[in-house]
Amino acid sequence: MKDVMMMKTMTCEQLGGPCNSPHQGTTADEVIKAQDRHLKEMVGNGDKEHEAALKDMKGRWKNPIKGMGWYRQAKRDFAALPEG
Ligand SMILES: [Zn+2]
């Protein structure tokens, strides 16, 4: 089976996290949401390294003006990625 949608991969690290767990998505929003879930899951499992990244992520939603720069950068990084 072949995906018709263009899947791209960004790692936790590329999205400001501490590990290189990959997230796949067809849009930047998808990988950002996957990262959000990943951070919550890791912290939920007691991972201390992801706590700071989760706090940053929450701060971005609370402070959209400040978080916008990060969001735009993540979208630019995603757009610049090769497919696959
Ligand atoms: Zn991670």
Contact 10, 81 (CB under 8 A): yes
Residues with Cβ–ion distance below 5 A, ligand 1? 12, 17, 19, 21
Give the pTM. Answer: 0.86
CA of 40 to the centre of ligand 1 (A): 10
Per-residue pLDDT reduced to its tens digit, 4-19 = 678 999 999 999 999 9
CA of 65 to the centre of ligand 1 (A): 25
Q: pLDDT above 90 covers what percent of the chain?
A: 80
